[in-house]
Structure 1
């Protein structure tokens, strides 16, 4: 006897007693079972799926922050029998053509991804009802993997401790929003980062958000990416491209913005770009963030718009994860961490649908602490009037700049690390506070951070958002914007040019300052000297443990750290542009030997014992941290137990610039550049380093011990470079020769050395030189973090 398939109930029957949420994708809430039933009416039609984390873990090191966005995915539903698949097509490989067969060939050549499979439980008039609960309760943010990869424990979602979060589960005409409280259990091997931020490490309860969003219409106009602009790019391969043209296609990522009147020099926008600040942000921080964000309107005005960029306070009834809102979140973590600007972008076109900024709340306290160490302002030990507090003024000035910077990322912009030499021409640089000594020799923070948008930022916005009148040759007009900026001397280089210790650019550096890196290092050395002379009890308020002086001493002692990095990188550097044929820019240019020599001489001043040795009046003031107070990675690393360790402080400050000077890539370039154009040679550099360390007159006391330590650290770097396989053969040959000559010098010096400690120092160096391959630079104490702590970088 032949069986018959059981007829499914209608949707009306199945959902008779359930609460319906009308909107983009209708869904139903079953109070009794705790289930979400999703109504699917559109098959094989693309929409956007985004996951996010509205309630986070609070650990910089793990990175599961409140407001964290997952990857956006173009997806569609495909039905086979009673099964409906959620499928993600592969948009990295396309065929932009009207030929269906050509498109099919591409689709069949590269894999798609099936993200989930649902079972149809009811149907009615071409609509299908599925239980979406298990899908919503899964781990789309990869939380389990993130915890495991960071060695924080083996966790998995526990459905018995998870549930829908109805307060943030809503439906709208163009987007459907779902949120769940998701608990991860396990954790028998929980790591310290998890333990530090959870009440019980065996259960981590977070919230995960899912957004189904209608894709934008096809009226958005893509704009071609140009490497000389500072826009991020959407890239894919178009296999329908003629063989004579590049198969890789690149378009800039940006918001949609059009003038109401294209012919007008200044026009309102058809739809302005509006950003909403987290309403949980306190004053005076709230006002500072509103001010800094609003700076961008200056750039849009320069591009011909009136009031096209706006910033408002997030309404109380708005959900910051809702894709309809561009938001600036004020995020709390256990330690200071990165701020970053992310976005939800249409993967088909590069159109930004949602700008999403996360600002770490503890950064402002670090900026305050930097100013506190520089000024030592508590003459009477009392709290200062907020209206007159110079530290607060500087910290808020930094927040304005930070807000503008991170919002800039969500407008589509990359970092520009050359802005500092162009009078702070971009908020997309990492700015060091501009500190100087006034006419009286006092530390002056009045111009610590620039105010307003930079000249390069105006160029960027003009390139990305200028709405040209009909009939304009857009390619010609865009090229003119970039060429005019080049003619004005405005420069652009970004992360790839600045972050590596071996990076080649002489102008792209993180957190450097000044038009001339060498001059600014000289300035900061004077500022540091003044700050250390003033440092003492008046650096902290009455009633604060004296041990807390170390917190303020760290950023003061290392105030030069980023500037010496910039100066050290001038050695073995090469100037270059992102030039394209016909634009008039040079491709590469040698940095003069004179500039490299001056940079080296200035950097070596920071390796002198006088510079590195802390005075006795500071050392004697700092006791061990009192019981009851947590220790911190923000303090100097120590080899002396609880006691303050001035030698370890000097050790880390010595090791830092040597990481750049003795980097194998830099050393290999120095060999090449000396041969090609007479640049500063590696052998010359090593000789000067040894002359300023091993071959200087020896001092007494702690200063003498710092000298010995510095020499041993230099020896470590020289030996390590001599055996580094990343360096070319000639580098190793030059280092081997230098080691041989140094050995002879030390042996000769030992013959006349009279005191036992110098003899011991020389014996130890000579013993180490017997086995250069054993030299490991990682044995040196590292600097306390200057950059924010954390797992990622989008500061």
Structure 2
């Protein structure tokens, strides 16, 4: 969790040699200089402070070093002359904890190297907050990253043990540049030697991203600005990275494993050279640490965790504190009071004018929750003036910024930096990726690859991650930053919703209703990300707060919204085919839900210290109330809980999935007769079907999650509910019925040949993709094959060891006869997937693909059972293989089969027969 030592040390050695040469030359130049006057209070710098030094006599006099330099007073006094910046350190500045906040000030617009990014994407990379201190060792001053993960009460033997057991990390080191000031006793260190080194490991990051030998070019790197304030100093550096040669991708030999191949940034005029800007803030930590508030698993807050070894009798040394802003009433006796210091967000001057008011509305919406607990105007939003002297990247300025990335990756994020001693939030930077950037990515994906984000939607339902599709790679230290996909999901559903409503003639895609729809989505994204910056985590169970009937009641949703929390990823509410368009459908103005009010109460309600523990337990004890239901990322991603889902609505998952399937079927039918304008190209059909496939994937993910689902409730004793509750057999059967009918049935979503011939790509996008290095810009597209891939993913999940284990284990959690039998699941899948064996119809190619997948999985379970396979599961699969083999042998000679279908059945029969006959080493008899 700490930066590596070696890169900073290598960079420091180079910097030290330059510094030594520079000092020697400066000493020679000043050897004959006359004595200078004492230092002035303000710039310019003093002309002299002591007698001149002789060559090789050690550091120069203070005044000689900063001669003609500009002085900046602040947390530390900065001195700047040309390209040199010095930091003045007094004796009391050493060994004092500070917060180092680094952020990208400029980037290259791809692969996460984005201007304005706070969140650390690579663990130890740019954006990782660190508690640091300056330490002097003889004539060196080191910048150390302190180990804030462990502690013990100061002055105790345990504190001495902790100090000896856990190491800090060295970020950089420089030689003392001056003799002590005659009056202040302070010394100078050269900031260039510290902050122009590759402190953040960007060279390593570039090498990992592109497999090229990028290295820091120190000679062409410089400090662009330096500023000082009473509680912070800010340095903006521009670093040049270069690769003297560029590797090229090599074809992988046949049979050899494929690995990462070299690539180059696509946004540079010359891929051998790039500049990255880093904005450093070195800020004072609060003199009086904020009062920490204990975390509770029933309420979703990000946490700062510390192992405190002060008490050996504690069950665990781990102490968990919620992340929250310091909010104190001006008048503690008033029922409603303004705070001493409000939570202030600055909307950066780079945000487009047309979106600023909407973003401000989303920010200020949270004041409703704070008013409930006695704070007036707790949250403030301001627009940064064009002539502002501060930067919204400053480590003590909470902000909302806009990005235009050619390779968008997150939509919007809301990371924060906290005091690692207490969890107090000190800074937050919400970042929005431009709508045009994201539209380009979605539309290009939809027309060149035939998909939008449906595969990603399945990944989000991590029940489907047991071998189905690769999990998204998120390695940041703050799970609420890159891992937050709310904006991407919301905007993708916005476009699908507009497609649906436009196809029915309810909305003009470029009309005022469409704009209102988009602004409401943007407002909701702002509210969601502000929630993260207030400390709140996702709540994927809050969609269950309202019934399906309430969701379809316009009066109810106008007052309460469509989910119990804005920290949910709610599905867009669209009318079913034939249902009249109501004002709230798909365009409900986002609203704080009951969970949001409750969570803010837990985190921010003023409580007397002696009453806090009891009061917090009382607040968290309401978690069993339906409207306060909470389930977060791990509840979703572990793939067990059927209620902690994204992209759903209401408390009836079957009703929601059925509605979305009906909408998808209607959209497919409309494309058959859709007439295009002369100004449109055929890619719009392909794009629409890509959105349809994505929504079908989400509906299927919701359904498959019900099979073997076990609700994992976070209740404490006394709630009246058991924490582990398997889904009822009736609910699982209903979900399986819908999967069988709409996803495993023959010809479920067949398109006409005429429509298939019209599904052309966007040829301009294809040309761009080809020249930008994409290896396989797709021309051909099969919607049916795309659905076959979805079927295979669903089948893999339903036949997985995890689902089998949960179904078998549920028998012990339910009364006899109430559990859903595993044998029934396997039997139903065999019937649905091989339905053609019981009739006279031929077996189309797409069905043969799915059937082959089913047979191969049965054979693999018999030949290569995994270590996690349950005995009953394997036995039932063997029985299923025997039954299927007999059915295939009986149907292989029926009339009406094509040569391909007959060969398919013969081949599958042989596969199953060989698997059943194989001699296996068995444990036991």
Q: TM-score, normalised by structure 1?
A: 0.88
Could you tell me which of 746, 750, 756 is aligned with 1:609?
A: 746
| 1:247-326 to 2 correspondences below 5 Å | 247-316=317-386, 317=388, 318-326=390-398
Contact 1:54/1:68 (CA < 8 Å) preserved in 2? no
Residue matched to 1:211: 281
- 1:258 Cα deviation from its structure 2 partner: 1.0
Q: Tell me, in whole angstroms, the C-alpha distance in 2 between the residues paired with 1:638 and 1:113.
A: 42
| 1:463-482 to 2 correspondences below 5 Å | 463-468=602-607, 470=608, 473-482=611-620
Deviations 1:80-123 (A, max 9, x none): 21111112222211112443x43222101211212211100103
Deviations 1:607-646 (A, max 9, x none): 223433234453232224425644779xxx9999622223
Distance 1:385 1:752, change over 3 A: closer
SS at structure 1 position matched to 2:414 = strand
Contact 1:376/1:535 (CA < 8 Å) preserved in 2? no
Report the more deviating stretch, 211-220 or 711-720: 711-720
Q: Tell me, in whole angstroms, the C-alpha distance in 1 between the residues paired with 2:104 and 2:313.
A: 44
Could you tell me which of 870, 878, 885 is aligned with 1:736?
A: 878
* Structure 2, unpaired ranges of 5+: 1-53, 120-126, 249-260, 439-487, 547-562, 917-925
Residue matched to 2:20: none
Residue matched to 2:118: 68
SS at structure 1 position matched to 2:705 = helix
Residue matched to 2:601: 462
Q: Tell me, in whole angstroms, the C-alpha distance in 2 between the residues paired with 1:685 and 1:212.
A: 59
Q: Tell me, in whole angstroms, the C-alpha distance in 1 between the residues paired with 2:787 and 2:632.
A: 31
| 1:551-700 to 2 correspondences below 5 Å | 551-607=687-743, 608-626=745-763, 629-630=766-767, 642-674=779-811, 676-677=813-814, 678-696=818-836
Could you tell me which of 398, 407, 429 is aligned with 2:568?
A: 429
Q: Tell me, in whole angstroms, the C-alpha distance in 2 between the residues paired with 1:699 and 1:126.
A: 96
Distance 1:615 1:467, change over 3 A: farther
Is it true that 1:341 corresponds to 2:414 in the alignment? yes
Q: Tell me, in whole angstroms, the C-alpha distance in 1 between the residues paired with 2:161 and 2:69.
A: 45
Is it true that 1:38 corresponds to 2:108 in the alignment? no
Q: Tell me, in whole angstroms, the C-alpha distance in 2 between the residues paired with 1:489 and 1:272.
A: 29
Contact 1:178/1:209 (CA < 8 Å) preserved in 2? yes
Distance 1:662 1:340, change over 3 A: farther
Q: Tell me, in whole angstroms, the C-alpha distance in 2 between the residues paired with 1:396 and 1:686.
A: 47
Residue matched to 1:189: 247
SS at structure 1 position matched to 2:598 = helix
Contact 2:542/2:627 (CA < 8 Å) preserved in 1? no
Contact 1:435/1:444 (CA < 8 Å) preserved in 2? no
Residue matched to 1:375: 501
Is it true that 1:750 corresponds to 2:906 in the alignment? no
Q: Tell me, in whole angstroms, the C-alpha distance in 2 between the residues paired with 1:539 and 1:265.
A: 62
- 1:48 Cα deviation from its structure 2 partner: 1.0
Report the more deviating stretch, 754-763 or 234-243: 754-763
Residue matched to 1:238: 308
SS at structure 2 position matched to 1:751 = coil
SS at structure 2 position matched to 1:164 = strand
- 1:476 Cα deviation from its structure 2 partner: 1.8
Residue matched to 1:778: none
- 1:604 Cα deviation from its structure 2 partner: 2.2
Q: Tell me, in whole angstroms, the C-alpha distance in 2 between the residues paired with 1:130 and 1:38.
A: 5
| 1:46-85 to 2 correspondences below 5 Å | 46-59=97-110, 61-62=111-112, 64=114, 66-69=116-119, 70-85=127-142
Distance 1:538 1:647, change over 3 A: closer
SS at structure 2 position matched to 1:154 = coil
- 1:296 Cα deviation from its structure 2 partner: 1.2
Contact 2:362/2:523 (CA < 8 Å) preserved in 1? yes
SS at structure 2 position matched to 1:115 = strand
SS at structure 1 position matched to 2:108 = coil
Is it true that 1:408 corresponds to 2:528 in the alignment? no
Could you tell me which of 869, 872, 881 is aligned with 1:727?
A: 869
Q: Tell me, in whole angstroms, the C-alpha distance in 2 between the residues paired with 1:345 and 1:240.
A: 23
Is it true that 1:762 corresponds to 2:905 in the alignment? yes
Contact 2:893/2:902 (CA < 8 Å) preserved in 1? no
Is it true that 1:23 corresponds to 2:162 in the alignment? no
Residue matched to 1:506: 642
- 1:696 Cα deviation from its structure 2 partner: 4.1
Could you tell me which of 176, 197, 207 is aligned with 1:138?
A: 197
- 1:266 Cα deviation from its structure 2 partner: 1.8
Deviations 1:170-217 (A, max 9, x none): 211111111111122116137787432323221122211211100012
Contact 1:54/1:208 (CA < 8 Å) preserved in 2? yes
Q: Tell me, in whole angstroms, the C-alpha distance in 2 between the residues paired with 1:638 and 1:48.
A: 45
Residue matched to 1:417: 540
- 1:473 Cα deviation from its structure 2 partner: 1.2
- 1:452 Cα deviation from its structure 2 partner: 1.4
Contact 1:504/1:573 (CA < 8 Å) preserved in 2? yes
Q: Tell me, in whole angstroms, the C-alpha distance in 2 between the residues paired with 1:113 and 1:81.
A: 18
Is it true that 1:150 corresponds to 2:191 in the alignment? no
- 1:451 Cα deviation from its structure 2 partner: 1.9
Q: Tell me, in whole angstroms, the C-alpha distance in 2 between the residues paired with 1:555 and 1:466.
A: 43
Report the more deviating stretch, 238-247 or 252-261: 238-247
Distance 1:379 1:88, change over 3 A: closer
- 1:268 Cα deviation from its structure 2 partner: 1.3
Residue matched to 1:111: 167
Is it true that 1:395 corresponds to 2:521 in the alignment? no
Deviations 1:520-564 (A, max 9, x none): 001111111222222368586642321242122201233132232
| 1:160-179 to 2 correspondences below 5 Å | 160-166=219-225, 169-179=226-236
Q: For the aligned residues, what is the CA RMSD? A: 3.1
Q: Tell me, in whole angstroms, the C-alpha distance in 1 between the residues paired with 2:354 and 2:68.
A: 50
SS at structure 2 position matched to 1:58 = coil
Residue matched to 1:780: none
Is it true that 1:351 corresponds to 2:424 in the alignment? yes
Equivalent residues, number: 756
Q: Tell me, in whole angstroms, the C-alpha distance in 1 between the residues paired with 2:621 and 2:680.
A: 56
Contact 2:348/2:400 (CA < 8 Å) preserved in 1? yes
Distance 1:375 1:698, change over 3 A: farther
Distance 1:463 1:519, change over 3 A: same
Could you tell me which of 510, 522, 539 is aligned with 2:658?
A: 522
Q: Tell me, in whole angstroms, the C-alpha distance in 2 between the residues paired with 1:244 and 1:471.
A: 21
- 1:726 Cα deviation from its structure 2 partner: 3.7
Contact 2:78/2:88 (CA < 8 Å) preserved in 1? yes
Q: Tell me, in whole angstroms, the C-alpha distance in 1 between the residues paired with 2:840 and 2:787.
A: 16
Contact 1:51/1:140 (CA < 8 Å) preserved in 2? no
Deviations 1:721-753 (A, max 9, x none): 553334334333332332232222212211325
SS at structure 1 position matched to 2:716 = coil
Q: Tell me, in whole angstroms, the C-alpha distance in 2 between the residues paired with 1:193 and 1:772.
A: 43
Residue matched to 1:446: 585
- 1:439 Cα deviation from its structure 2 partner: 5.2
Contact 2:279/2:394 (CA < 8 Å) preserved in 1? no
- 1:265 Cα deviation from its structure 2 partner: 2.4
Deviations 1:503-526 (A, max 9, x none): 111200122222211110011111
- 1:421 Cα deviation from its structure 2 partner: 1.0
Report the more deviating stretch, 695-704 or 516-525: 695-704
- 1:134 Cα deviation from its structure 2 partner: 2.9
